[in-house]
Amino acid sequence: MNIGFIGLGVMGAPMAGHLVDAGHNVVVFNRSRAKIEQLELRGAVGATSPAQVGEKADVVITVLPDSPDVEEVLFGAGRVLTALRPGSLVIDCSTIAPESARDFAARLADRDVAFVDAPVSGGEAGAVAGTLAVMMGGEKDAVRRAGEVLDAMAATTVHVGPAGAGQLVKAANQMLVAGNIAMVAEAVSLLRRTGVEVDAALTVLNGGLAASKVLEVKAPKMLARDFAPGFRVDLHHKDLKIALAAAEQARIAVPLTGVITQLVQALRSAGDGGLDHGALIKALERLNGMSPDSP
């Protein structure tokens, strides 16, 4: 299959790599040439513009930071839509506003191009392992076609509704992940302050009802002060704002999400927006007058 891939960041690069390894003809574009060269060594073809990706591909996948980035790549001058052929498919694996996904789907449909919003969950580790969960919104046939492509990089692909539905499910996902990280950070802070054997405590917590992927993965990194970005604080803040806006439109209260969003904002205000979202423990430590090396 001829697949175009735009956006070779922490998530995008390994995702594109799985498509190459699966034997697809993959043409890639990224603002940083170095990321393109790494995939060229594995068999991908580098492009010099989004339009060139559209010329060579029947399916185009985007993994970009936010709605304006996706819009610019798809619809800007000399961009993907200028070269896409009728009958092509765009799969957007970015996390963007649901209303943006619906708008993009309608605009592409006017040109006989199908669109699936397919945000992913699983973080950098899931992208590298090829075990992502993908929540797909769009028409049934377009979702079927998208699933055939995404199976190379995902363990779970589910059709959750019409265009925009994937983004709504991703908003819920980001609420749950942020809430879990915040509670892990609070629990770890409590254990440290009270002198408990923290490693032993984490072992027993991971064996009971409190067990979670977030507890398993993030707690040891919090203790090791390993905040290398698997998923940046700035991006999670953007996602939580999407969730809050969706809740506002649905006329429901999400008070815990609001509080956690403020904690994340506090991290950004302190200059920690580029760290992994597990750095949320730093916001809790500041509130409690704790340092990394003292109880």
Q: What is the pLDDT of residues 54-98, one digit of tens each?
A: 999 999 999 999 999 999 999 987 789 889 999 999 999 999 999
Identify the CA nearest to 96 among candidates 135, 69, 77, 131: 69
Average pLDDT, the chain: 96
Question: 120, 92 in Cβ contact below 8 A?
Answer: no
Q: How confident is the model at residue 100 (pLDDT cuts 50, 70, 90)?
A: very high
| Residue 78: predicted pLDDT | 73
- Active-site residue set: 170
* Mean local confidence (pLDDT), 214-218: 96
| Listed range (77-86, 111-120, 135-144) with the worst mean pLDDT | 77-86
Percentage of the chain beyond pLDDT 70 is: 99
Average pLDDT over residues 30-43: 94
Q: Residue 295 — pLDDT band, cuts 50, 70, 90?
A: low
- With helix as H, strand as E and coil as C, how does the chain read? CEEEEECCCCCHHHHHHHHHHCCCEEEEECCCHHHHHHHHCCCCEECCCHHHHHHHCCEEEECCCCHHHHHHHHHCCCCHHHCCCCCCEEEECCCCCHHHHHHHHHHHHCCCCEEEECCEECHHHHHHHCCEEEEEECCHHHHHHHHHHHCCCEEEEEEEECCCHHHHHHHHHHHHHHHHHHHHHHHHHHHHHCCCCHHHHHHHHCCCCCCCHHHHHHHHHHHHCCCCCCCEHHHHHHHHHHHHHHHHHHCCCCHHHHHHHHHHHHHHHCCCCCCEHHHHHHHHHHHCCCECCEC
Task: Using alpha carbons, select from 287, 288, 246, 274 the residue that is nearest to residue 97.
Answer: 246
Q: What is the pLDDT of residues 5-31, one digit of tens each?
A: 999 999 999 999 999 999 999 999 999
Query: Partners of 114 in the beta sheet?
Result: 89
Average pLDDT over residues 204-223: 96
Using the predicted structure, report yes or no on whether residue 292 has a pLDDT greater than 90.
no
Residues 6+ apart with CB under 8 A from 174: 95, 236, 239, 240, 242, 243
Predicted structure pTM score? 0.93
Is a pLDDT exceeding 90 seen at residue 203?
Answer: yes
C-alpha span between 175 and 230 (Å, rounded): 17
pLDDT digits (tens, 9 = 90+) for 152-172: 999 999 999 999 999 999 999
Whether the per-residue pLDDT at 294 is higher than 90: the answer is: no
d(CA 119, CA 135): 6
The predicted structure's pLDDT at residue 77: 78
